[in-house]
Each structure stands twice: as structure tokens, then as C-alpha cells.
């Protein structure tokens, strides 16, 4: 029987008609009434910026918040490789059904079928919208938009703007947002960090935010709240995410009653620049697009490995027959373009077996020599020029001369706030979009699908579905920010800040965060097992205690204080880390990015347990120090055959 607290609200009927059916049944708010309604959007990445621009254009009163000094500096700006859409421009027989199928399969059958189909269905409209905004997608000689391939897919459906797709898409969304800001329908609050969600009579009615420049704690009321606050990859300290990316808003919502779904599904990206010391705070991604033309290998002979590590030879000196193109060998059908989880585990397997290059032994090669020969310098430059430049700046090695060295790193989180088909959380009036929700990617996200999802949510789904909730609200007066619920939430935030300053210990926030990162990578990283996950829960608990005894937060609240910001976020990262470990412990199967060592085939591939785990794990907060309660949303696949993922033939 379905869990009464997890009603997905997926419409009945054939898959291809569900979204049209839902749209036709959604109640509409008239233009006069839209003007009376206020919506808070937290986050200005592709999810938040597109949602706020659309809602403003529709006539709602929107307030938008972000941590950075300008909305266009959201983490989305870092996205490199591209955005998927089922346009079939390459005439390779692509379609909505194929995009749907690849995404469900890529997610290892742990996503909600109806949501993924809708995502594929609206994907083409996203490209049209962005082109109309002037986003400079790459074009073929004849003027058509160009496409390339991404992992887990046998066609080419990825639209791109060199290695700066996120930046160009965000500039498009930001331009639309600015139009609304100028028109007065959107009011922008940069450098404002949400520190709590306010619930009145069980519904989301506002937020408490800290003005990051003055330290003032401010109250904001609305008829509905949308969280577009991104993912929680920085729980691991080192990740490809922007330094400010965090999971705090989602955690604040969780503590106020929003369920958190599939927290253990974190994506480890195979092509990042390897860690090069203990003083690093950020990892750099080398886009997946590079796997279109780059070939991944390690030496076949251990003597060559040793010589490389001692810098006695260069990789280019190793002859062809002594190279192991292990992805092409193990997965001939997809080769270097297997999905990220598969490519990451294969790299780890080679490094664990002693074939890893780099001084640490934790790296493999991504080689363009063949591509340069085949396509010529100019064509490769056109496709990947800025990525090559970035790699050379960071490592002082030119990918034109020697292969890049890469290693897997934390990159994206598929888990997030549980949402129904309308993208509403378990708290009425609270919506979650973009990376902040769990919706479409199951156990593993395919490349170029995050931008597609963020913009689908923001431009084409939320602006409609939120109307259904708001159609009951236009006769309600504006939310009174003097209500006791605001009073209490503000008091709790101020007490939390005072408590942090009162510790007056000796350790920096970063040094403790780094320790959390080590625990997470060791026990909740690329390979997980029961003993390790139990250990992680204990170790995180101890580290939390150490933090509250020994952290030092310098300065005061009444100033621009990034140490305070980081400390507030770290408090939430402890809780997320623990929840991730708990969820990973519960999910005794290997699936997508979640690899339980106890559950693998003889060839080291993931072994799912569909009989016992074909569900979304949604966790309900039960109070501080108490174990959360697990709720299950059963996943039914009525339109897709469930098979073991196979990228070999």
C-alpha cells in the first residue's frame, strides 16, 4: 500500500498524455489575482533564475534570494559540457521515448517514470526558449545547432556553447530575470542567505535570511516558497561544486517537515583533475564532453607505471600495444562514453590494481593524440579549446602534447527534497526545483541532464503547477511577518549564531570540514560497505561534538563574515553526511552511483535488488538526536522494461 505521506500525484492514463492531462486540470490564477500573490524563490542558478523570470512575467510578485553578489554568479555558471534535448537534429533516430529510456536506464531504474517522461517531453522547448533569448549555442556550417554525445547515450543530443554552456544559459535566464526586475515584478536580494523556513498552520509562508553584508537577520513573507538552492556535494569538502554550494536550505526544510529523498545517491564524476595536496579546497572538472574524442587508458605494464611515477618517461613514449584502453576493452558498445558511475568505478578498479599513474597512483590518462591526428588541431581547438587552456593553467602540462591526468571526484547529488509530480514537497506551499530536489535522475544522472532538468522545472513545470496551490490563496492577506512563527524562527537563528561565536575554540571551520570530507570519501564514497557506513555515522557524531567544543568563528555577526557563513553551513553538512550514511546503509543493493561492496557481480559490476529496493527512500526528521523515519515511495515501471544495465553490447 502506498505511504499516505508520499502521494506522488502522478495523473492516471497513458504516459504520453499525463503532462497534458495535468496541465489541463491545473487551476488557473487570473491576471488580477496573480498581482495579489507573493512568491519567494531562493536561489538564482538555472532553476531559480528561470522560475523567477517566468513567474514574474506571468504577473506574480516574486522575491529572489542568493548568496553571491549578483544572481548570475550562481554555481550553474560553471556548467561546461552541454544540455540534452530530443530534437533529433543529427537524424540519428532520436526521440522523446529514447531520451526518456536513456535517462531511466542511466539512473538505474530508481527514478519516477512519469517525471522523466515529462522531462524528455519538454526538453525541445528549452532549446527554443534559450535560442530566442540569444544563447549562442554552437552551430554547424549550415547554421543548424550542433550536437555532441554524452555518456550513457548512443546518439548525439547534447547542445552546447563550447565548454561554457552553463554560463551562456545562465546569462540568458539572467537577462530575462533582469527584465522582470526592471519591470518591478521581481525584487532581487543578492548576498542574502536563507537561514530558516517559516511555517504557519502547516504551510510554507516565508523565510528568515541573513544580510551577508551587514549581518542583519531579516524576515520575508510570501504565499509560497520555492527552493532552488542546488546540491549538497560539498558535504565531501572537496568537490567540483562552487565553494558556496551547500545543503543548508534543504536541511532547514527537512527539519521543518519536508522529507529528504535518496540522500545516498551522490555522483562521482570520472574526469576531474586529481587531488594534488592537502591544502586544496576545490576540485576542477574536465567536462564529460572530452570523452567524445579523448581516449582513457593506463599502462598495461607495472614497470611503465613506476617509470611514469618517477618521471623517467612521458606517457606519449609508451607504445600503443602497451596501453590498456580499459573502457573500450570492458564496454565495447559504449567505450569511453559509458555513464559516469561506470567510468568512475572502472578508473578506481585500475588504480586499486596498481596501474594508476601520477605520483599518488590515483589518476588515469585522457588522451587526445588520436583526435588531434583525426580531426586536426583547429577542430579540436574549436571543440575543447577553453578546457585545454584551463587544464594547462592548473597543471602546467599541455594536453596538446601529453594526455591529461584525471581521477573521479564528487560532482552532483541526485538525492534532495522529495517532491510530488507538481514539484511540491511534503510541506504545502513549499516547492523544490533543480538540483535541490530528488526528482529525475534516480541512482545516477546522465551528463547534460542537470541543466535540462533545472530549466524544465523553472521555465515549463513549476510556473504552471504552482498555480494550482496559489489558486486557493489569492483571497488570503499578505503574510504577516510579525506573526509568532516568524518571531520564533528569527530567535532560533540568532541563538544559533550566538552559540557558534560562544565556542571560542582553536580549530578553523575548514579544518573540521576537511575531516568530515575524509570520513565521507573513505566510508560514503565510491565504494561503501556495512561496517564502513556504521563507522561513518559514529565518526560524524564525534566530529560534530569536536566542532561544538573546539571551533573558532572569528569576527562578529554584524559584518561580512565568511567564516560565520561556512560554520552555519557546516552544521548542516554534519546532518546531511549522517543522513547519507544512514540511507546508504539501508540501501543494501548496488545501484547507480551507490556501490555497496557486498552487492556486486563477479566482474565487479553493480548488483541491484529490485525486489527489495525499487523505491524512493524518503526520510522524515523526528527531532534532534533522534533517528529519522524511513518512508518508501514504490517505483512502478509500466512503460519501460526493467533490465540489468548493460553497456557492453
Ligand X SMILES: Cc1cc2nc3c(=O)[nH]c(=O)nc-3n(C[C@H](O)[C@H](O)[C@H](O)COP(=O)(O)OP(=O)(O)OC[C@H]3O[C@@H](n4cnc5c(N)ncnc54)[C@H](O)[C@@H]3O)c2cc1C
Only one of the segments 64-72, 122-130, 328-336, 395-403 lies at the binding site for ligand X (rule: CB under 6 A); that segment is 64-72
SS3 content of the chain, % helix, strand, coil (to 5): 40, 15, 40
From the centroid of its chain, how far is CA 567? 22
Evaluate whether 275 touches 237 at the Cβ level (below 8 Å). no
Per-residue contact string for residues 80-119; x = within reach of ligand X by CB under 6 A: xxxx------------------------------------
Kindly tell me which of 85 and 364 has the beta carbon lying closer to ligand X: 85
Residue 246 lies near ligand X (rule: CB under 6 A) = yes
Q: How far is the CB of 324 from ligand X (least distance, A)?
A: 28
Q: If binding means CB under 6 A, how many residues of this protein chain bind ligand X? A: 45
Kindly tell me which of 18 and 63 has the beta carbon lying closer to ligand X: 63
Residue 249 lies near ligand X (rule: CB under 6 A) = yes
Residue 266 lies near ligand X (rule: CB under 6 A) = no
Kindly tell me which of 118 and 596 has the beta carbon lying closer to ligand X: 118
CB atoms < 10 A from the CB of 521, how many?
18
Kindly tell me which of 2 and 394 has the beta carbon lying closer to ligand X: 394
Residue 74 lies near ligand X (rule: CB under 6 A) = yes
Residue 497 lies near ligand X (rule: CB under 6 A) = no
Q: What is the CA radius of gyration of the chain?
A: 24
Only one of the segments 111-119, 432-440, 584-592, 633-641 lies at the binding site for ligand X (rule: CB under 6 A); that segment is 432-440
CA distance 512 to 503: 14
Alpha helices in 504-586 (DSSP H): 509-523, 530-550, 562-586
Residue 122 lies near ligand X (rule: CB under 6 A) = no
Kindly tell me which of 263 and 532 has the beta carbon lying closer to ligand X: 263
Kindly tell me which of 46 and 55 has the beta carbon lying closer to ligand X: 46
Q: Which of 330, 340, 350, 608 is catalytic?
A: 340
CB atoms < 10 A from the CB of 601, how many?
10
Kindly tell me which of 152 and 454 has the beta carbon lying closer to ligand X: 454
Q: How far is the CB of 317 from ligand X (least distance, A)?
A: 32
624 backbone φψ class: left, alpha, beta (φ>0; ψ -120 to 50): beta
Q: How far is the CB of 561 from ligand X (least distance, A)?
A: 15
- Cα–Cα nearest to 432, from 206, 225, 173: 225
Residue 67 lies near ligand X (rule: CB under 6 A) = yes
Burial of 264 (0-12, 13-18, 19+ CB in 10 A): buried
Binding ligand X (rule: CB under 6 A), the pick from 26, 78, 125, 640 is: 78
Kindly tell me which of 48 and 399 has the beta carbon lying closer to ligand X: 48
Only one of the segments 91-99, 238-246, 522-530, 608-616 lies at the binding site for ligand X (rule: CB under 6 A); that segment is 238-246
Judged by CB under 6 A, the chain residues 151 through 210 that form the site for ligand X are 165-166, 193-194
Kindly tell me which of 212 and 357 has the beta carbon lying closer to ligand X: 212
The secondary structure of 179-232, three-state, reads HHHHHCCEEEECCEEEEEEEEECCEEEEEEEEECCCCCEEEEECCEEEECCCCC
CA distance 233 to 249: 14
Evaluate whether 12 touches 22 at the Cβ level (below 8 Å). no
Residue 470 lies near ligand X (rule: CB under 6 A) = no
Burial pattern 151-188, b for ≥16 Cβ within 10 A else e, equals bbbebbbbbbbbbbbbbbbbbbbbebbbebbeeebbbb
Only one of the segments 31-39, 41-49, 101-109, 591-599 lies at the binding site for ligand X (rule: CB under 6 A); that segment is 41-49
Residue 403 lies near ligand X (rule: CB under 6 A) = no
Only one of the segments 73-81, 91-99, 129-137, 330-338 lies at the binding site for ligand X (rule: CB under 6 A); that segment is 73-81
Q: Under 8 Å CB-to-CB from 361, ≥6 apart: which residues? A: 305, 309, 351, 354
Binding ligand X (rule: CB under 6 A), the pick from 103, 123, 235, 240 is: 240
Q: How far is the CB of 74 from ligand X (least distance, A)?
A: 3
Burial of 45 (0-12, 13-18, 19+ CB in 10 A): buried
Angle at the Cα of 458 from the Cα atoms of 457 and 464, rounded to 5 degrees: 80
Judged by CB under 6 A, the chain residues 434 through 463 that form the site for ligand X are 434-436, 448-451, 454
Q: How far is the CB of 472 from ligand X (least distance, A)?
A: 27
Kindly tell me which of 286 and 533 has the beta carbon lying closer to ligand X: 286
Residue 76 lies near ligand X (rule: CB under 6 A) = yes
- Cα–Cα nearest to 195, from 206, 184, 205, 203: 206
Number of residue whose CB is nearest ligand X: 45
Across the chain, how many H-helices and E-strands are there? 19, 19
Sheet order of strands, 364-367 included: 266-272, 404-413, 364-367, 295-299, 323-324
Only one of the segments 54-62, 98-106, 236-244, 325-333 lies at the binding site for ligand X (rule: CB under 6 A); that segment is 236-244
Only one of the segments 42-50, 329-337, 475-483, 542-550 lies at the binding site for ligand X (rule: CB under 6 A); that segment is 42-50
CA distance 185 to 57: 7
Residue 414 lies near ligand X (rule: CB under 6 A) = no
φ and ψ at residue 229, rounded to 5 degrees: -100, 10
Only one of the segments 244-252, 373-381, 486-494, 542-550 lies at the binding site for ligand X (rule: CB under 6 A); that segment is 244-252
φ and ψ at residue 350, rounded to 5 degrees: -65, -40
Q: What single string gives the DSSP state of each residue in 590-635?
A: -BTTB-BTTSB-TTS-B---HHHH-EEEEEE--STTSPPEEEEEE-
Q: How far is the CB of 113 from ligand X (least distance, A)?
A: 21
Kindly tell me which of 161 and 308 has the beta carbon lying closer to ligand X: 161
Residue 48 lies near ligand X (rule: CB under 6 A) = yes
The reply to whether 291 belongs to the active site is no
CA distance 244 to 458: 21
Distances in whole angstroms, Cα of residue 153 to Cα of each of 105, 292, 338, 448: 10, 11, 8, 11
Binding site for ligand X (CB under 6 A): 42-48, 65-68, 74-76, 78-83, 165-166, 193-194, 228-230, 240-241, 244-246, 248-249, 285, 411-412, 434-436, 448-451, 454
Active site residues: 340
Amino acid at each position: 500500500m502506498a505511504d499516505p505521506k508520499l502521494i506522488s500525484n502522478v495523473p492516471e492514463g497513458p504516459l504520453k498524455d499525463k503532462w497534458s492531462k495535468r496541465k489541463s486540470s491545473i487551476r488557473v490564477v487570473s491576471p488580477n489575482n496573480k498581482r495579489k500573490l507573493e512568491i519567494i524563490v531562493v536561489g538564482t542558478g538555472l532553476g531559480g533564475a528561470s522560475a523567477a523570470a517566468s513567474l514574474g512575467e506571468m504577473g506574480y510578485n516574486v522575491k529572489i534570494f542568493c548568496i553571491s553578489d549578483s544572481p548570475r554568479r550562481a554555481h550553474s555558471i560553471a556548467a561546461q559540457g552541454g544540455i540534452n534535448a530530443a530534437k533529433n537534429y543529427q537524424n540519428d533516430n532520436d526521440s522523446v521515448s529514447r531520451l526518456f529510456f536513456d535517462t531511466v536506464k542511466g539512473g538505474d531504474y530508481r527514478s519516477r517514470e512519469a517525471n522523466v517522461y515529462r522531462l524528455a517531453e519538454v526538453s525541445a522547448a528549452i532549446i527554443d526558449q534559450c535560442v530566442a533569448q540569444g544563447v549562442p549555442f554552437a552551430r554547424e556550417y549550415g547554421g543548424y545547432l550542433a550536437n555532441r554525445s554524452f555518456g550513457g547515450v548512443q546518439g548525439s543530443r547534447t547542445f552546447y556553447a563550447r565548454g561554457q554552456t552553463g554560463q551562456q544559459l545562465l546569462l540568458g535566464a539572467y537577462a530575462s530575470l533582469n527584465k522582470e526586475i526592471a519591470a518591478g515584478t521581481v525584487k532581487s536580494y543578492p548576498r542574502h542567505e536563507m537561514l530558516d523556513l517559516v511555517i504557519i498552520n502547516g504551510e510554507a509562508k516565508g523565510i528568515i535570511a541573513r544580510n551577508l553584508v551587514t549581518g542583519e537577520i531579516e524576515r520575508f513573507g510570501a504565499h509560497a516558497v520555492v527552493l532552488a538552492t542546488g546540491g549538497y556535494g560539498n558535504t565531501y569538502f572537496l568537490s567540483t561544486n562552487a565553494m558556496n554550494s551547500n545543503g543548508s536550505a534543504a536541511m532547514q526544510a527537512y527539519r521543518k517537515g519536508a522529507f529528504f529523498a535518496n540522500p545516498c545517491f551522490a555522483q562521482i564524476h570520472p574526469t576531474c583533475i586529481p587531488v594534488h595536496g592537502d591544502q586544496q579546497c576545490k576540485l576542477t572538472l574536465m567536462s564529460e564532453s572530452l570523452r567524445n574524442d579523448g581516449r582513457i587508458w593506463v599502462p598495461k605494464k607495472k614497470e611503465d607505471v613506476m617509470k611514469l611515477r618517477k618521471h623517467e618517461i612521458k606517457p606519449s613514449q609508451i607504445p600503443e600495444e602497451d596501453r590498456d584502453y580499459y573502457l573500450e576493452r570492458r564496454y565495447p558498445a559504449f567505450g569511453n562514453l559509458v555513464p559516469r558511475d561506470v567510468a568512475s568505478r572502472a578508473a578506481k578498479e585500475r588504480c586499486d590494481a596498481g596501474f594508476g599513474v601520477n605520483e599518488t597512483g590515483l589518476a588515469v590518462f585522457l588522451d587526445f593524440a588520436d583526435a588531434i591526428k583525426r580531426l586536426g588541431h583547429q577542430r579540436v581547438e574549436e571543440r575543447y579549446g577553453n578546457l585545454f587552456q584551463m587544464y594547462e593553467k592548473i597543471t602546467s602540462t599541455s594536453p596538446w602534447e601529453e594526455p591529461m591526468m584525471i581521477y573521479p571526484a564528487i560532482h552532483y547529488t541526485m538525492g534532495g527534497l522529495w517532491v510530488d509530480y507538481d514539484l511540491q514537497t511534503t510541506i504545502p506551499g513549499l516547492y523544490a526545483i533543480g538540483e535541490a530536489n530528488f526528482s529525475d535522475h534516480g541512482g545516477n544522472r546522465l551528463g547534460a541532464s542537470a541543466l535540462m532538468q533545472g530549466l524544465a522545472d523553472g521555465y515549463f513545470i513549476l510556473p504552471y503547477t504552482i498555480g494550482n496551490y496559489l489558486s486557493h490563496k489569492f483571497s488570503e492577506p499578505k503574510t504577516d511577518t510579525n506573526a509568532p512563527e516568524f518571531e520564533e524562527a528569527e530567535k532560533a537563528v540568532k541563538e544559533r549564531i550566538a552559540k557558534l561565536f560562544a565556542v571560542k575554540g582553536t580549530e578553523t571551520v575548514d579544518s573540521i570540514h576537511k575531516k568530515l570530507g575524509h570520513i565521507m570519501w573513505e566510508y560514503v564514497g565510491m565504494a561503501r560497505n556495512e561496517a564502513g557506513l556504521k563507522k561513518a555515522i559514529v565518526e560524524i557524531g564525534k566530529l560534530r561534538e569536536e566542532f561544538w567544543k573546539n571551533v573558532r568563528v572569528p569576527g562578529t555577526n554584524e559584518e561580512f563574515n565568511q567564516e560565520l557563513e561556512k560554520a552555519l553551513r557546516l552544521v548542516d553538512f554534519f546532518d546531511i553526511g549522517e543522513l547519507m550514511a544512514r540511507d546508504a546503509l539501508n540501501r543494501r543493493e548496488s545501484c547507480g552511483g551507490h556501490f555497496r561492496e557486498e552487492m556486486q557481480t563477479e566482474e565487479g559490476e553493480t548488483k541491484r535488488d529490485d525486489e527489495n529496493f525499487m523505491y524512493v527512500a524518503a526520510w522524515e526528521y523526528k527531532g534532534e538526536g533522534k533517528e529519522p523515519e524511513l518512508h518508501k515511495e514504490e517505483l512502478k515501471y509500466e512503460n519501460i522494461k526493467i533490465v540489468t544495465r548493460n553497456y557492453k553490447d
